Structure 1
Amino acid sequence: MDPVRNPYAPGAGSPPPELAGRDELRRIVRIALQRIRIGNPAKSVLLVGLRGVGKTVLLERMRIDTEADGMQTVRMEAPEGRSLPALLAPQLRVALLRLSRVEAAKDMAKRGLSALAGFAKALRITYHDIEVGIDYEPEPGLADNGDLETDLATLLEQVGIAAKEAGTAVVMFIDELQYINEAQFAALISALHRCAQLRLPVMLVGAGLPQLRERAGSAKSYAERLFDYLEVGPLASADARKALEAPAEALGVKFDDDAVKAIIAHTRGYPYFLQEWGKHAWDLADASPITLSNVERASTVAIAALDESFFRVRFDRMTLLERRYLRAMAELGPGPHRSGDIAAVLGREVSALAPTRGKIISKGMVWSPSHGDTAFTVPLFDEFMKRIMPGDSWRNESA
């Protein structure tokens, strides 16, 4: 079939043609946002889930929904090595400039820009990566103490006051939140808490790996009461079927039922993998309907594509010992696994491997569902590890 018309979209953050199975999550967030806009209490939201479940896509769709409802949004991704103030400052500047165009909010928005100027100037000494255009002179004593927790709370308070005057809300959409430094995350949580106490329309909708819940709790003990944690998991069979069939049917193409069942079995309902299998099954089919035979041929191509992109890019970031640790996990199966069992496979003491485990967690490759347990953050990564490190030579220190 014509590859140009192929509707499937495997790729980092690429929106799928059919966002199936996420309507309830979108509804929950929409209600929370509408509540804060009118001054009613609502918790900020954190989307948590493994790689490949579509958190980034869902976060962006929620941002689009929010803008369509007339609220101000800012969108950020928290990369490793970048400070939170550097991420926030330019985005909040844009939001405040937009609010300054609303007559009722003009004065408060300008005061917010003065607060931002003081914030950036005072914190640039500590956070050298802050780069933001300064539109107004700092107001002495306004968000310029040089203490991130205090100054960020003051800055977001000013943003919230301006948004309230404008009859809207400012919503921060931040992806990969697990990479934010704990002290900086604590400052953000504290600032959101202050806005919530004052019933100001400022809210965070964040996304990250499953360890995000623990990181938030470690940063501030009251975080569990400040956030609603929404689990984003693989799609149920009916939703996975819809994600596959609806885009094809819109173009007059059908799947045989056993072909759909095979794709769902291969992908286990993970949205990213559904797009990968759908793309290759389409390209390999001569005509509608797409058959089981097409899917089986596509599986070989899809797995190779995932190995070279989705999986390999993460594997390449690991040291030799970290790879051996992950391979030992794979030897035990999908997981989660006890730290002692992983150490036993490697013939090492648990204490000796603790630093390695900690580094792999910090790189976002594994997480701890409960004390002493370790699980992959990337679905099907155990199968990849067996393909890329086959046999038993990996057990040797020098392998």
Structure 2
Amino acid sequence: MSNLERLKKGRAAKSIMLAGLRGVGKTVLLDQMMRDAIGEGGLLAIRIEAPEGRSLPALLAPKLRLALLKLSQIEAAKDYAVRGLRALAGFASKLKVTYGDIEVGLDYDIEPGPADNGDLEGDLTALLEQVGIAGKAADSLVAIFIDELQYVEEQQLAALISALHRCAQSQLPVTVIGAGLPQLRGRMGEAKTYAERLFDFPSIGPLGDIDARDAIEKPIHDEGAEITEDAVQQIIAFTHGFPYFLQEWGKHAWDVAQKSPITKDDVENASATAVADLDESFFQVRFDRLTPAEKKYLRAMAELGPGPHRSGEIASVLGRDSTSLAPTRSNLIVKGMI
């Protein structure tokens, strides 16, 4: 029985956090999980992407409003959902002072008490409890799918974990399925020490040889073409099974090849354009957002060659003390660059 099925039946189950580097397919998996869950029925899904610079309350408030409005259309859950909408009004009103980016339509007047104390952790807990009560009355699981979760600030992450903990204790049908960079597990543990008891953290990484081969060969075969064995092996060697890179090398090898089958020479000729495309798209956009100090740190790390490298080694290249570079290193990890 899956975690979602257990929660639908009112049984204990952990929420899920997909963790992995950029380009391994976390977002694709997250969206497929949402589609599969919706297809099974008995689920109300909320989909959120957490960009840099936006607060979690601002992202959650309008989505929870829509969920509560849907629940209010179910007779058995109507009164609980309306109370949730009143709690949401208090939540948004009080926390707007702290989080100025909260913008949400208010359908009912504030109900004093449940979620209007101005304390994010307590208010979010009260609000998600009310959502869970309405979901339970509607015989529906409320699943919040959140991408790029590593961008949520620690205090806000702690509030979300605390709220989910309370819902779990009360056996309410509320869960979070999230995705983020590898540091997500550590950040959640720092936010709340009991986080690992509440979440499963499946690691999403490169494809094995069999799956990487399928990813290369199937699209080519679907178009009525072929690729040689040594060409497949060369793509796998270049990409190390990294899903996004497999797509890039496959695309460029297809474009370079003049006829079927695609050969090893075609793959080698395509590598220059594949790397150039990655430099201009996959890496360049993120690199341009770095500070000069962060770019210098990356340059120093690159000069050491293939890693991993100790922080002290990078500091030596820069002629700095490793302690003084700790904030720069931390920022680069948060931004997903190292």
* 2:36 paired residue among 65, 73, 82: 65
3-state SS, counterpart of residue 201 of structure 2: strand
Q: Aligned residue for 2:279?
A: 307
- 1:34 and 2:8 equivalent? no
Query: Is 1:216 aligned to 2:188, yes or no?
Result: yes
For 1:191, the aligned partner's letter is A
Aligned equivalent of 1:200, options 168, 172, 189: 172
Q: How far apart, CA to CA, are the structure 2 residues paired with 1:92 and 1:299?
A: 46
Q: Which runs of 5+ in 2 are unaligned?
A: none
Give percent identity, aligned residues only.
Answer: 65
Name segments (4+ residues, structure 1) moved above 6 Å.
none
Q: Deviations over 1:240-296 (max 9, x none)?
A: 111121222222222211111111111111111111111111122223222212211
Deviations 1:286-311 (Å, cap 9, x if unpaired)?
23222212211211111110011111
Match of 1:327 among 293, 299, 302: 299
Aligned-pair CA distance for 1:336: 2.3
Q: Which amino acid counterpart does residue 258 of structure 1 have in structure 2?
A: D
Query: What's the counterpart of residue 241 of structure 1?
Result: 213
1:156 alignment partner, SS class: helix
* SS of corresponding position for 2:202: strand
Q: Give the structure-1-normalised TM-score.
A: 0.82
Distance 1:358 1:334 in 2: 20
Amino acid at match of 2:133: I
The answer to whether the aligner puts 1:47 opposite 2:18 as a matched pair is yes
| Alpha-carbon distance, 1:360 to partner | 2.0
Match of 1:271 in 2: 243
Task: Select which of 122, 129, 144 maps to 1:157.
Answer: 129
Paired residue for 1:6? none
Question: Alignment partner of 1:233: what SS?
Answer: coil
Give the distance between the partners of 2:334 and 2:244, measured in 1 at CA.
23
Equivalent AA in structure 2 for residue 356 of structure 1: T
**Deviation readout 1:211-242 (Å, 9 max, x if unpaired):** 11111011111111111111000000101111
User: 1:54, 1:114 → 2: CA distance?
Assistant: 38
What aligned pairs does 1:228-377 form with structure 2 within 5 A after superposition?
A: 228-366=200-338
> Hey, what's the Cα distance between the residues in 1 that align with 2:34 and 2:105?
24
C-alpha separation between the residues in 2 aligned to 1:243 and 1:102?
Answer: 44
Which residue number corresponds to residue 94 of structure 2? 122
SS of the residue corresponding to residue 81 of structure 1 reads coil
1:43 partner letter? K
Structure 1 Cα separation of the partners of residues 226 and 23 of structure 2: 25
CA RMSD of aligned residues (A): 1.4
Q: CA deviation at 1:355?
A: 2.8
Cα deviation per residue 1:7-55 (whole Å; 9 max; x = unaligned)? xxxxxxxxxxxxxxxxxxxxxxx81011101101001111111111111
CA shift for structure 1 position 358:
2.6
- Retained in 1: the 8 A contact 2:26–2:204? yes
Deviation at residue 329 of structure 1 after TM alignment: 1.5
Secondary structure at 2:117 match in 1: coil
Instruction: Number of aligned residue pairs: give it.
Output: 337
CA contact (8 A) 2:77 2:135 kept: yes
Name the TM-score, length of structure 2 as normaliser. Answer: 0.96
